């Protein structure tokens, strides 16, 4: 870029009569466009960026602009550029553009989310309910009222930055603003931190919350309570609270999705002869008819006695599995009767079902 005559007005694409504001605006637009971060590895863009900065350093300074217009050079500026741009582009760039970006990106910091494991009863999962829980909560310290300073004391102005929170450092041509290390950018130093909150400005307390449990929830269902998470100093919005449900096992009922399963013990005579039994359901006892000759493995279904469906429409069913109980300690009389029955079955024992092979043979006879 040295050794050739560059028209700075042309570089910034402004007229010779441009105002300071117009020059600044033109520079910002071009610098954003050619910034190395936006054009990684593009040497031409990098050259352009240097040229734009060179032009602005002259035209943006009334004295240098005047000199440039009179003599066609910027005085001693050239030697300074070479120094300046061996440095960090970003530092220079951020310094010049800090206000520009500051307006574009409003800072929003969300607090941490909380997770709470809540165990509920089987019935609560089926019908829904309400539970009270206690969660940790960050609250403004009542002693210092959030100021973080022990009452009777005041924060003192940071000597290092003079209360600005930022330290200016000159590197030849450029001035760089750095956040003050001593006060962390606050401009003030607390010499006597509040003892109650240890200088945090907030204390951790507990908060009681009522949690509504919708009907039909199951193990690992997550309920989200917006805004009930943490909000610590510097967080603009609180985080969320996630409640992860765990459903206790029931002595009688079992869950299978939206259905409830019940196992009922029955004697083999009932299956032979049929009859009516009483079965437990989630809503109380219910009568169930067992037809004569009921085979093992048959499942009975009580419609609508399951769990609320997760899609909100209708309920599942209750399924009843029969568990056939074979008596193991028979009385003499029971033994006699069964032996007699067995003898009866021997004569008129149910014929074994015809197998596939026999049916197949019959077909071709």
Q: CA angle 234-159-182, nearest 5°?
A: 45
Quick one: 110 or 196, whose CB is closer to Zn ion? 196
Closest among 200, 209, 210 to 138, alpha carbons compared: 200
Q: Contact residues for Zn ion (CB under 5 A)?
A: 141, 143-144, 158, 160-161, 180, 182-183, 194, 196-197
Quick one: 110 or 192, whose CB is closer to Zn ion? 192
What's the min distance (Å) between Cβ of 66 and Zn ion? 37
What's the min distance (Å) between Cβ of 99 and Zn ion? 20
Q: CA angle 45-5-84, nearest 5°?
A: 55
What's the min distance (Å) between Cβ of 189 and Zn ion? 7
Quick one: 146 or 215, whose CB is closer to Zn ion? 146
Evaluate the CA torsion angle 61, 62, 67, 73 in order and state its sign.
positive
Reported residue count of the chain is 365
Quick one: 140 or 359, whose CB is closer to Zn ion? 140
Dihedral angle computed from the Cα positions of residues 93, 96, 101 and 106, in that order, rounded to the nearest 10 degrees: 120
Radius of gyration of the chain (CA): 42
What's the min distance (Å) between Cβ of 171 and Zn ion? 20
Tell me if residue 122 falls in helix, strand or coil: helix
What's the min distance (Å) between Cβ of 144 and Zn ion? 3
Quick one: 166 or 286, whose CB is closer to Zn ion? 166
Tell me if residue 130 falls in helix, strand or coil: strand
Cα–Cα distance measured from residue 21 to residue 179, given in angstroms and rounded to the nearest whole number: 28
Quick one: 163 or 214, whose CB is closer to Zn ion? 163
What's the min distance (Å) between Cβ of 21 and Zn ion? 32
Distance from first CA to last CA of the chain, Å, rounded? 106
């Amino acid at each position: 870029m040295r050794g050739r005559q560059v028209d700075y007005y042309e570089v910034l694409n402004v007229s010779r009569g441009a105002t300071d504001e117009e020059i600044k605006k033109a520079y910002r637009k071009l610098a954003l466009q050619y910034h190395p971060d936006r054009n990684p590895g593009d040497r031409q863009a990098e050259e352009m960026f240097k040229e734009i900065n060179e032009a602005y350093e002259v035209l943006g300074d009334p004295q240098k602009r005047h000199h440039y217009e009179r003599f066609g050079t910027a005085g001693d500026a050239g030697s300074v550029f070479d120094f300046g741009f061996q440095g960090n582009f970003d530092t220079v760039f951020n310094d010049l553009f800090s206000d520009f970006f500051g307006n574009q990106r409003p800072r929003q910091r969300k607090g941490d989310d909380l997770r709470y494991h809540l165990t509920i009863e089987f019935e609560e999962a089926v019908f829904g309910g309400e539970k009270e829980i206690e969660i940790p909560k960050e609250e403004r310290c009542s002693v210092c009222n959030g100021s973080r300073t022990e009452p009777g004391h005041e924060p003192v102005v940071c000597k290092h930055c003079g209360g600005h929170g930022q330290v200016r450092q000159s590197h030849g041509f450029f001035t760089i603003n750095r956040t003050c290390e001593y006060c962390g950018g606050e401009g003030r130093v607390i010499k006597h931190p509040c003892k109650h909150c240890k200088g945090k400005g907030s204390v951790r307390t507990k908060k009681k919350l009522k949690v509504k449990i919708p009907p039909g929830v199951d193990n690992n269902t997550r309920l989200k309570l917006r805004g009930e998470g943490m909000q610590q100093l510097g967080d603009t919005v609180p985080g969320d609270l996630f409640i992860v449900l765990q459903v206790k096992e029931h002595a009688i009922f079992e869950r299978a999705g939206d259905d409830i399963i019940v196992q009922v013990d029955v004697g083999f005579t009932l299956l032979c002869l049929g009859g009516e039994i009483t079965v437990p359901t989630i809503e109380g006892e219910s009568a169930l008819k067992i037809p004569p000759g009921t085979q093992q493995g048959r499942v009975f279904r009580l419609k609508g006695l399951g769990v609320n469906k997760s899609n909100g429409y209708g309920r599942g069913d209750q399924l009843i599995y029969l568990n056939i109980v074979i008596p193991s300690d028979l009385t003499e009389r029971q033994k006699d009767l069964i032996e007699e029955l067995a003898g009866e079955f021997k004569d008129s024992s149910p014929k074994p079902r015809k197998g596939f092979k026999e049916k197949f043979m019959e077909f071709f006879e």
